[in-house]
Each structure stands twice: as C-alpha cells, then as structure tokens.
Amino acid sequence: MARKSIYRPEHRIFAELLRDVRMQAELTQEQLATTLDVDQAFVSEAERGRRRLDTVQVRDWCLACGIDLVHISREFQKRLSNPRYQEPREPDGRRRPR
C-alpha cells in the first residue's frame, strides 16, 4: 500500500517551498493568514507539512504572495531534481545532523 502523500519527501519539499514563497513576498504568517481568511496556525501547519492544501488553496497562496500557480509548479519540479533538497530530515522537518 502506498504511503499517504503527506508522509512522502516530496510533500516536505513542497511545504518548504510554500514557506519560501511567503518569505520572498516578505509576508509574515499572520499577514498571509489574514489575506487567505484563515488562522495563522493553518499557514504554520501547511509550511511544516502537517496540512495538505488543495489546488485552489495553493493558487490562493500564490496569488497572495504575488506569483502564479505555474511559477510554484515549475519551482517545485526544479527542487525535486535538486540533490540539495533531498537531504534526510527529522520527522519535524529539521535537517538531520551529518
């Protein structure tokens, strides 16, 4: 049986991308949450990979950060093939010590 996507490494990479997109837009979690009409915990959980977002939610996130869905999709594909983002992580997302 396949693992749920939330437990796959690709999900962690996408969650980190969501955080990076927000930070590049110079928004706090609270500011983004207000724009999305959600609470700050929702943003935090998404960025830590604890919450899955549907396509419409990802699009809203992108628009709030001043980018489009195509941009985040392309960046996600780049990160999937970049060894830098493939490092083993702790369950909470921290990089494992070498």
97 part of a folded domain: no
Model confidence over 27-81: pLDDT tens digits?
Answer: 999 999 999 999 999 999 999 999 999 999 999 999 999 999 999 999 999 999 9
| Sole residue written with tokens 């604890």 | 50
Summarize the confidence of residues 16-24 as an average pLDDT: 97
Among 7-11, 12-16, 67-71, 87-91, the range scoring the smallest mean pLDDT is 87-91
Q: List the CATH number of the domain containing 73.
A: 1.10.260.40
Instruction: Give the model's pLDDT for residue 75.
Output: 97
Model confidence over 73-94: pLDDT tens digits?
Answer: 999 999 999 888 776 555 555 6
Instruction: Give the model's pLDDT for residue 95.
Output: 61
Range of the domain at 58: 5-82
35 part of a folded domain: yes
What total number of domains does the chain contain?
Answer: 1
> In the chain, how many H helices and how many E strands?
5, 0
